[in-house]
Structure 1
Amino acid sequence: MEQQTTRPSRRPQRRLGLTVGRVFGVPLHLDASTLLLTLLVSVLYAGFARRQLELSQLGGYLIGLGFVVALLGSVLLHELGHALTARRFGIGVRGITLELLGGYTEMDRDAPTPRVDLLVSLAGPAVSAVLGAAAVAATLALPDRTVADQLAFQLAASNVIVAAFNILPGLPLDGGRALRAAVWALTRDRHAGTEVAGWIGRVVALGTAAGVVVLTVERVLAPLALPLMLLVAVTLWRGAGQSIRFARISRRFPLIDLARLARPLLPVPTGTPLAEAQRRRAESGRPDAALAVADGSGRPVALVDPAAADAVPTARRPWIAVDAVARSLAGLPALPVGLDGERVMEAVQTHPGAQYVVTAGEDVVGVLHIADLAQLLEPRRKMNT
């Protein structure tokens, strides 16, 4: 399954695989799960090749490994279709990752218009369709029951299936992105397009699971492939759900107002006992205020970490200075108070953290807690505070 991730500046992904180089300037990563893909496909295809071509066991495994390499090459070309089309329209590409279920292209921002979204989405399936057609032509031209003929046939089938499956109109598949673009163009509402394509994506996931079970019962699909195909269905369901959730969150971006959302600062002098600082906050009438450590001139220089403060036993708080559970303001990410919702989300997900300093010029005017932002964006979701 091939897909794209194009949300701007999302949280950095922890890569478990290997960066193997660049293709047309695009970083290429191999996820650790490609090892499982290599083993699984090599074993399955080796058995098929031995039966069809009367090969030795070693010969079957070598042919199976060759098929894996050709298959990953096809996936890479598919993803390059997305990546190079995106770059053509000025969208930066952070990298391509090949993994167990295919691959994905990570872009640094969403398409600016429905037309661009449609073209980028369809570029990958178009490449797979061309590869499939070329492999079909090669299959017809090559002698029957030869290694080259069988490899060409399997590549033809793989690319045609990939192109056909990815064009299904449900997120996170490429066809779902195309549907989103169409709904976006008709309604002028990108979020509506994402939700529609997300819900249809859930239908596609259920249909995939049902189809896999039927094909296995009818012995069209090898039982060994059942877990992998069901994993595809589960991944589709989760991806569709994430798309729906993201659309709903994105609708609320305009509600982000740092001037109202940021908690006020309550400065206390350096060396103040933690218990005393907490008492002053309770008496201030703003129990949600962020405790700050002030220097001799009254300027805030550090921020008390709520988690670290809560971890101090109550009996010890009169003997622990606020400085011991505080972080320097210089080490915290800063958000200008006038930043709009989209830019706030980009900054937060580029620099994940629990607290952010809200500034007006050189002055610190408040502290944004990530829990407050999450509560604003998903008011019905239970938050850990």
Structure 2
Amino acid sequence: MLTVMFAPTVRARFPQLGGFTYLVALVFVVLLFASVLVHELAHGLVARSRGQQPREFVLTLWGGHTSFDGAASTPLTSALVGIAGPLANLVLAALAWALAQVVAPASLSALILYAAAFANAFVAGFNLIPGLPLDGGRVLEALVWAISKDRHRGTIVAGWAGRVVAVGVLAWALLLPLLQGRSPELFGVVWSALIGAFLWSGATAAVKGGRSQRAVAGLTVAAVGTPAVAVPHAGTVAQARAAAAAAGVHELVVVSPDGRPAAYVDLAALAAVPAEVAGTTPVTAVAVPLPYGAVVDGARTGRALLDDLARAGGMSPVVVAVLDGRVQALVRVTDVVAAIRS
């Protein structure tokens, strides 16, 4: 696609090339992708020098991206990693421009070198626009993070800035021709709409991600769990009801003789037991067994708590939180998901 797009430029300058026009255009596209690869490698090398391990480098029609095993630890690291890619493109642009000065001015080599210089300068300048998912958005995110001491606020602000950029790209394609007294070209509008949609998608994902990460950072058992009290496995329904009333809670966890949470009481089944037989009905008759390991530490918070809940939630949709050896709460996976989404 990019080769076909660049071919008319080559044909206009060198009509005598004939079928070789597309070969020359392909050479430029290969150089362009090489520039994108250098851009992404610059991100990765600077990140690794700052203790952040790159996991993969991806090239796409829209450019590329680098993913990491973890987030940057400081605003400075985030900013340096973000700006490294555009700086690499500026170096390539300067190198291509310098080489173009020493070749024949009207040659194919000069055309390719000038095109490479322009493309790299454009990639650098466009990526420095302050809005996610562009690199300039990473710098803006780091700046807000450094000022506010809140990483997630930086992500949300930079994401909203990216949405503004996305709208601006399409507005530029529509309004600039009108201001110049001509009609917008369909090709330019469609291409700008595609780029704007890509940027909007990335910016929206950043805003949602920032909000989700903020929710994760504030995650506590008290926020997502329901207070519960332990009852012995040999107890009766009447004793379980009395224990719940005394503790002022509704949820009940049945513990085994060694004190391990072994089941939780089904409240609907508990309520269905008639009062006249509650004293002789074992509480285990209205309990749902819990697999071994469906327990989390009630003192943990944030990402650590979420990781524990993910592990335990893989065994059971209901997990028991224990604090200092005592049953603290029941946590349902659906409540955790709802808390993060909200």
Q: Give the TM-score normalised by the residue count of structure 1.
A: 0.64
Counterpart residue identity of residue 161, structure 1: F
CA RMSD after TM alignment = 4.2
| Residue 89 (structure 1) aligns with | 50
- 1:86 positional shift: 0.6
1: distance between equivalents of 2:67 and 2:183? Answer: 35
1:170 aligns with 2:131: yes
- 1:255 positional shift: 3.4
- 1:193 positional shift: 2.1
| Residue 122 (structure 1) aligns with | 83
Q: Secondary structure at the match of 1:96?
A: strand
- 1:178 positional shift: 0.7
2: distance between equivalents of 1:239 and 1:301? Answer: 45
Q: Secondary structure at the match of 1:252?
A: helix
2:23 corresponds to which of 62, 66, 70: 62
Counterpart residue identity of residue 93, structure 1: P
1:372 corresponds to which of 312, 317, 335: 335
Counterpart residue identity of residue 101, structure 2: L
The verdict on how the C-alpha distance between 1:375 and 1:61 changes in structure 2, with shifts beyond 3 A counting, is: same
1:50 aligns with 2:11: yes
Counterpart residue identity of residue 138, structure 1: L
Q: Which has the larger radius of gyration?
A: 2
- 1:369 positional shift: 4.2
Q: Count residues in correspondence.
A: 304
- 1:58 positional shift: 2.7
1: distance between equivalents of 2:294 and 2:101? Answer: 61
- 1:47 positional shift: 2.4
Counterpart residue identity of residue 256, structure 1: L
Q: Secondary structure at the match of 2:164?
A: helix
After TM superposition, list the pairs within 5 Å mapping 1:1-385 onto structure 2: 40-214=1-175, 223-258=186-221, 261-262=224-225, 329=291, 336-345=297-306, 355=317, 357=319, 368-379=331-342
- 1:120 positional shift: 0.8
1: distance between equivalents of 2:189 and 2:23? Answer: 24
Counterpart residue identity of residue 34, structure 2: G
Q: Deviations over 1:158-212 (max 9, x none)?
A: 1101100111111221111111212222222222322322222222112111112
1: distance between equivalents of 2:18 and 2:263? Answer: 67
Q: Deviations over 1:286-333 (max 9, x none)?
A: xx98999x99x9x98999xxxxxxxxxxxxxxxxxxxxxx99958x99
Counterpart residue identity of residue 212, structure 1: A
Deviates more, 1:83-92 or 1:138-147: 138-147
Query: 2:39·2:86 contact (CA, 8 Å) conserved in 1?
Result: yes
Task: Name whichever structure is richer in helix by fraction.
Answer: 2
Unmatched runs of 5 consecutive residues or more in structure 1: 1-39, 267-283, 304-325, 380-385
1: distance between equivalents of 2:97 and 2:333? Answer: 53
1: distance between equivalents of 2:152 and 2:130? Answer: 16
Query: 1:357·1:364 contact (CA, 8 Å) conserved in 2?
Result: no
Counterpart residue identity of residue 167, structure 1: L
Query: 1:334·1:358 contact (CA, 8 Å) conserved in 2?
Result: yes
The verdict on how the C-alpha distance between 1:162 and 1:350 changes in structure 2, with shifts beyond 3 A counting, is: farther
Query: 1:258·1:358 contact (CA, 8 Å) conserved in 2?
Result: no
2: distance between equivalents of 1:103 and 1:222? Answer: 27
Q: Give the TM-score normalised by the residue count of structure 2.
A: 0.71
